[in-house]
Every structure is written in C-alpha cells, then in structure tokens.
Amino acid sequence: MSRGTATDLVYLIAIVGFILALKGLSSPKRARIGNLAGAVGMLIAVGWTFSLPEVHSDTHNLVLMLIAMVIGAAIAVPAARLVKMTAMPQMVAIFNGVGGGAAALVSITEFIGLPHGTVAIYKIAEVLFGVLVGSVSFAGSAVAFAKLQELMTGRPVTYPGQQAINAVVGAGVLALAAATLATSSSTLLLLLLLASLVLGVIFVLPIGGADVPVLISLLNSFTGLAVAASGFTLDSNLLIVAGTLVGASGILLTRMMSQAMGRSLPNILFSAFGSVVTASGGDGQSVEGRSVRTGTSDDVGVLLAYARKVAIVPGYGLAVAQAQHTARELADSLAERGVEVFYAIHPVAGRMPGHMNVLLAEANVPYDQLKEMDEANAEMSTVDVALVVGANDVVNPAAKSSPGSPIYGMPIINVDQAANVVFLKRSMRPGFAGIDNELLYDPKTTMLFGDAKESLAKLITAVVAA
Amino acid sequence: MGPGIMGLVTVFVLAAFVGYEVVSKVPSILHTPLMSGSNAIHGIILVGSMIILGGAHGATQESLGFLAVVLATLNVVGGFVVTDRMLEMFKSRQADRSRAGRSPAPANGASATAKGAAS
C-alpha cells in the first residue's frame, strides 16, 4: 500500500469518527462515547499527519509545530476544565473563533505560497473564501464573547444608517475579493482580510445578548465552511468532509434554534431585537400602577409542601444566581414529602438551546425528570404549582394572545394553565425581550422577590417546616 | 496529485447531506453539546495548519503557520474537553445514587445510564 493510500485510509477512519460523534448526540446515553470517537479520530488524524514527509522533513518547522501545540494545549485544557457551566456559551464562542482564525491563516499562507500566474482561478477563489469567512467568524465570535462575558453591553448596539453602512461594507468586501481574484495582489488580500474583520464586528454589534447563541451557532457553521474551503485549497478530503459536516449541521442547528424562539433567522440577525423596552404588552393596554400579589417564603413553602404536582420552570435568572443546586435540593425535599416534581424546560431557557439541561445535569438532576416544552405543556393543566425561577419571556402569555407583541408566535411554557403560579424574580423588570408580562398581575400568581438562590434556600426551610 | 476538483466537489456535496441528516435527529436537550461537539470537529483545521507550517519558508510563512497551529490546537483540545465535561453530566435517575421519595416517572429507553453505555 502506498503512503498516499495509507494516508487516505487513516483519514477515512478519522472521518468515520467525526460522523459517529455527531450521530452519538441523537441520544444522551451514546453522546459521550460518540464524542470520544470523534476525539480518537482527531488524534489518529493529527498523529498520522506527523508522518507525512511535507510535515516533518524540516526539523526547524517541526520543533516550532510542537511548541505551538504545547502552547495551545496548555491554554485550552485549564480553560476548558475550569470554565463554569454558566459561562459555556462564551467558551464555545472563543473556541469557534480561534478555529475560524486558524482557517483564515491557513488560507493566507497558502495564498502567499501559490505560484501566481499558473494556478487555476478556482484555486484563488477557494483561498479568498477561506480568508473572508474565517475572518468574519473570528471577529464575530470575539464580539459575541465580549457580549456574553459582559465586557460590553449585551443590548444591541445601534447607530443611524447601520443597515446601510453594513451593506456598504459587505459590498466592499465582495468587491475587494473580486479585485484580489483578478490581480492576485497580496496588498489587496491584506485589505480584504481587514475589511472581513470589520464586517465580522459590525455584523454582530446590533444583535442582542439573548440572540447571541443563535449567532454563535451560525458562526460555528461559517468556520466549518472556511475549513472546507481550506480543504479545497490543500486537496484534502479530510478537511472538506469535517468542515462540511459542521457547516451543514450548523446551519440546521441555527434554524432549529430560531424556530424554538418563534422567529426567523433574518429577524434575529438584522432587527436589533430587544433594544427598545416597551412598557405594555403590545396591545396598548397599560399595566402601570396595577398591583401584584407578593408572598412570603413561608406562604409559598406551604403551598408547595401540600401540592400534589409541582412544575419547576427554570430560566436564565436561575443560571445567573448559580441556583441549580439549590433548586435540586428543593425538588428533593418536596419529593421526600411525596410531591411529584418535574422540570419544564423551554428550548431556549438559559442562553443556548439545551443550556438549562446542562446546568441542571451539573446539579445531578436526573435527565428523565426534565420535560421538554411539549411534554410539559401536556401536563400543565394537572399541575398544582408552577414555580417559575428567574424566567419571564418563556412563560409570557403575550406570545399567544397579543399579536402586536414582539414575542408573538414564540412557543411558551403554558404555566398560566397551572392552578397556581409562583414567580421567583429579582424585581418587576421585564426579561431579555423587554416586554411586560400580564401573568405577573394574575390573581393566581404569587411573587417572591429576591435573589433566586436565597429565595430557594428559604423555600427549602419553609417546606421542611411545613 | 490530488483527486481533482470535481472529486472534491462530489465529496463536499455528499458530506453536506450527511451532516444535515445526522443532526436532524438530535433532541433539543443535546443542542448545546452538539454546538460544542461540532465546534471541536472543525478543529481538524489543525491538520491543515500542520501542513502549512511544515512546508513554510521564511519568517512570514513560519509566523502565520505557527499562529495557525496554536489557534487550531486551542480549538481541538478546548472543544473536545468542554464537550466531554458537558456530556459527563447527563446521567439518569438510575445512575444516581438511591434517593428517597422517587416519583414514578416512566423509565423509557432514553433513561439508561450514560455511564453504562460508556463502560
């Protein structure tokens, strides 16, 4: 078997590992072993790559390579090990951004090495695509990270003529790409690189914090495509398949995420959603000056302790307060009293789809106690108490009843069908979408103000005492 | 050398369909690990970065290649470690140590343990 055939075979094994990694995620019980298959595939591919003459023949470069890998791993392992589960979205953003940056660098270096004048035009086009998409993904992910890490405001950043300016920059990038294609000029490529970085930044600025996860998924898909473009440049099936797998799956995931929010992708990307805080539910009816019923933790504790069935609806507030463990303890003490408890998880609860499941899993909540939205809604009319912890928009009935509301059409957890609703909230402030919630003023609703974690801890005491 | 542009395009198109199909069955509770896991897979750019650095001539190409390998290693290692950390936490009630007052939630096929499958 020739070396070339052996390489193809080894890379094919790696590709199968990647497909198994994605396939494993169809069920929680096979997900981890699948991810392991992907990691092994990656290890095999990288290990074999060292044996290629073009990689190891230059000792100086080989030493540089090993140093670079040690640096990368020395930063990545502690970062990935120590990051808090609530900070996971920005971690994914960063790891995605560096991948896009690497793809752009590979394309740039390849461009410099191309024997100009003799290469096919599609070869240059592939390089330019890699540079453009990789840089947009790199810069966009950096801004997304800054937004989620709260290094900058999570609100959409808007300015007059924003759409027009973005369109001009976008057109400029395409024009630069065309000019670089025609002239093969390195100066123009450098300009293209800078313009793509700018495009990545201004593209992400108007997107609000709540929508950033959808954006990260889209940028993840972009990075996949940039990697596939590098694969075309390097004649590598391995890079093409792995990059395209991510590109295609990322686009589908992005679509599923926007569907879960009841909005279209263009609406998420271009509408600067959440920049205006409206005082009314969108139907013109003012809710100012109306009274809400506030309860003490003892009241709520008794209500919970003597309920038959309790649904806990966790939202981002629970994650911020790091209250997932306390929530689980409350559920345990209720279960000890024979109360049936389940968690009703909205697909976009937390900051990414499935983020809440990860947080609750971290707190050792068994995943068969977690019910997805449809399943939870089917049972909601038999629930005695719906305990909403730090969530607002995902239970706001305005999504069903107020056609004028910005969240109209978004699927929600129907806690309004439960016999009693308890909101654990810091204040009356509206949620991410900036929309008031009628349900807070409903007679069957009790408000318990304060930090989610403290309130839950008080509830545990009250339940045990009841 | 190389399979030719149409061979590459064929592979690209087929991979796009595979990627789309494989992911269409992923339940929403696993969307975050999916994003993170696919993020790790595009870290395969590390192989491309190694080829670029291995064949680099001169300081410019060497620095660009060096930076590419650092970034790609971050992507690969960080991506897989974070995904594994997330998936490690998905365990079912049966995997949990015994607890009082269990509610009779139906144990369907999905409630077998992640640990059991992994061992």
pLDDT of residue A29: 82
Question: What is residue B118's predicted lDDT score, i.e. its pLDDT?
Answer: 36
**Which residue(s) pair with A253 in the sheet?**
none
Asked if A335 has any chain B CB less than 8 Å from its own CB, the reply is yes
Q: Looking at A382-457, which runs of residues are DSSP E strands?
A: 385-389, 420-425, 445-449
Max CA pair span of chain B: 69
pLDDT digits (tens, 9 = 90+) for A156-171: 888 888 889 999 999 9
Q: DSSP letters of A346-385?
A: -TTSSSSTTHHHHHHHHTT--GGGEEEHHHHHHHGGG-SE
Q: Taking residues A28-50, report their average pLDDT.
A: 94
Is the CB of B32 less than 8 angstroms away from the CB of A54? no
Mark yes or no for CB contact A245/B18 under 8 Å: yes
Domain membership of residue B75 (yes or no) is yes
- Tell me if residue A172 falls in helix, strand or coil: helix
pLDDT for B93 equals 43
- Of the candidate ranges A115-119, A275-279, A312-316, the one whose mean pLDDT is the lowest: A275-279
Return all residues near B118 (Cβ < 8 A) that are at least 6 apart: A32, A33, A36
Number of domain units in chain B:
1
Tell me the pLDDT tens digit for each residue of B35-87.
999 999 999 999 999 999 999 999 999 999 999 999 999 999 999 999 998 88
- Give residue A97's pLDDT band: very low, low, confident or very high (50, 70, 90): very high
Asked if the structure places residue B92 within a domain, the reply is no
- pLDDT interval class at A380 (50, 70, 90): very high
In residues, how long is chain B?
119
Written as six digits, the tokens of A199 are: 């495009």
Is the CB of A83 inside 8 Å of chain B's CB atoms? yes
Q: Which pLDDT band, with edges at 50, 70 and 90, does A53 fall under?
A: very high
Q: What pLDDT score does A213 carry?
A: 83
**CA–CA distances in Å: residue A312 to residues A334, A385, A386, A438:** 11, 8, 6, 20
Which residues are within 8 A (CB) of A425 and not within 5 positions of it... i.e. 6 or more apart?
Answer: A317, A390, A392, A447, A448, A449
pLDDT for the residue A431: 63
Which of B9, B38, B57 to mutate to probe the A interface, most A CBs <10 Å?
Answer: B38
Of A376-380, A449-453, B65-69, give the range with the top mean pLDDT: B65-69
Using CA atoms, how far apart are residues B32 and A361, in angstroms rounded to an integer? Answer: 13
> Which pLDDT score is estimated for A170?
94
Using the CB atoms, write b or e for A345-381: b if 16+ within 10 Å: bbbbbbbbbbbbbbbbbbbbbbbbbbbbbeebbebbe
**Average pLDDT in chain A:** 87
Can you give the three-state secondary structure of A1-33, one letter per residue? CCHHHHHHHHHHHHHHHHHHHHHHCCCHHHHHH
Which among A222, A253, A219, A93 has a CA at the least distance from the CA of B26? A253
Among A247, A271, A261, A182, smallest CA distance to A214 is for A261
Q: Is residue B83 part of a domain?
A: yes
Separation of alpha carbons A393 and A281, rounded Å: 11
pLDDT score recorded for residue A227: 96
pLDDT of residue A104: 96
pLDDT attached to residue B95? 44
pLDDT top residue among A61 and B119: A61
CB contact under 8 A, B75 and A35: no
List strand residue ranges (DSSP E) for A152-301, in order.
Answer: none
- Domain of residue B76: give its range: 29-87
Integer Cα distance of A271 and A208 in angstroms: 9
Q: So what's the pLDDT on residue A440?
A: 86
- The reply to whether ipTM tops 0.85 is no
Q: Is the pLDDT of residue A351 over 90?
A: no
Q: In a 3-state reduction of DSSP, which class is residue A103? A: helix
pLDDT tens-digit series, residues A104-135:
999 999 998 877 667 788 888 999 999 999 99
Catalytic-role residue among A393, A416, A436, A451: A393
A61, A106, A216: residue with CB nearest B48 = A106
Residue with the bigger pLDDT between B19 and A319: it is B19
Residue A187 has pLDDT above 70, yes or no: yes
What per-residue confidence (pLDDT) applies to A160? 87
Residue B53 falls within a domain, yes or no? yes
Tokens at B68, concatenated: 């590419």
Q: How far apart are CA A312 and CA A314, in angstroms?
A: 6
The pLDDT value given to residue A316: 80
Q: A263 to each of A229, A267, A274, how far by Cα in Å?
A: 30, 6, 13
Residue in B with minimal Cα distance to A95: B75
When pLDDT is cut at 50, 70 and 90, the band that residue B101 belongs to is: very low
State whether A355 and B32 contact (CB < 8 Å): yes
Percent of chain A with pLDDT over 70: 93
List the one residue out of B11, B15, B36, B50 whose CA is nearest residue B90. Answer: B36
The two three-digit tokens of residue A318, written as one number: 């629970």
| Phi, psi dihedral angles at A154 (to 5 degrees) | -85, -15
Structural domains in chain A, sorted by start: 3-270 (no CATH), 297-465 (3.40.50.1220)
Q: Tens digits of per-residue pLDDT, B14-44?
A: 999 999 999 887 877 788 889 999 999 999 9
By the 10 Å C-beta count (0-12 exposed, 13-18 middle, 19+ buried), B17 is classed as: exposed
Question: With 70 as the cut, is the pLDDT of residue A344 above it?
Answer: yes
| Residue A294, Ramachandran bin (φ over 0: left; ψ between -120 and 50: alpha; else beta) | beta
- Partnered with residue A372 across adjacent β-strands are A345
Could you tell me the strand order of the sheet in which A445-449 lies? A370-372, A340-345, A309-314, A385-389, A420-425, A445-449
Q: Does a structural domain hold residue B94?
A: no
Nearest to A331 by CA among A355, A359, A357, A364: A364
Residue B59: burial class (beta carbons within 10 Å; 0-12, 13-18, 19+): exposed
Question: How high is the pLDDT of residue A434?
Answer: 62
Q: How far apart are CA A441 and CA A143, in angstroms?
A: 38
DSSP per-residue codes, B15-75: HHHHHHHHHTT--GGGHHHHHHHHHHHGGGHHHHHHHHHHT--HHHHHHHHHHHHHHHHHH
Res B91: pLDDT? 62
The token pair at A423 is 């909101």
The residue of chain A with its CA nearest to that of B56 is A61
> Measured between alpha carbons, how far is residue A466 from residues A93, A330, A418, B27 in Å?
46, 13, 22, 39
- Asked if the Cβ–Cβ distance from A88 to B36 is below 8 Å, we say yes
pLDDT confidence tier of residue B117, bands split at 50, 70 and 90: very low
Q: How far apart, in whole angstroms, are the C-alpha atoms of residue B111 and residue B92?
A: 6
- Give the pLDDT of residue B98: 38
Q: Does A40 touch chain B (CB under 8 A)?
A: no
pLDDT, greater one: B101 or A339: A339
- Say what the pLDDT of residue A284 is: 36
Determine contact: A76 vs chain B, CB below 8 A.
yes
Buried b (16+ CB within 10 A) or exposed e, A205-232: bbbbbbbbbbbbbbbbbbbbbbbbbbbb
Amino acid at A50: F
User: Is A393 among the residues known to form the active site?
Assistant: yes
Query: What's residue A116's pLDDT?
Result: 66
Q: Using alpha carbons, select from B11, B84, B85, B42 the residue that is nearest to residue A18.
A: B42
Q: List CB contacts of A142: < 8 A, sequence separation 6 or more.
A: A97, A200, A201
Confidence band for A394, pLDDT divided at 50, 70 and 90: confident
Cα–Cα distance for residue pair A297/A460, rounded to 1 Å: 9
The span from the first CA to the last CA of chain A, in angstroms, equals 76
Per-residue DSSP letters for A178-211? HHHHHH--HHHHHHHHHHHHHHHHHHHTTS-GGG
Would you say residue B101 lies in a domain? Answer: no
**What does each C-alpha distance from A444 to A334, A382, A418, A429, A447 come to in angstroms?**
21, 15, 9, 20, 10
For the ranges A23-32, A50-59, A231-240, B39-48, which has the lowest average pLDDT? A23-32
Mean pLDDT is lowest, of A8-12, A271-275, A442-446, for: A271-275
Contact flag A352-B32 (C-beta cutoff 8 Å): yes
CA dist., res. A213 & res. A451, Å (int): 25
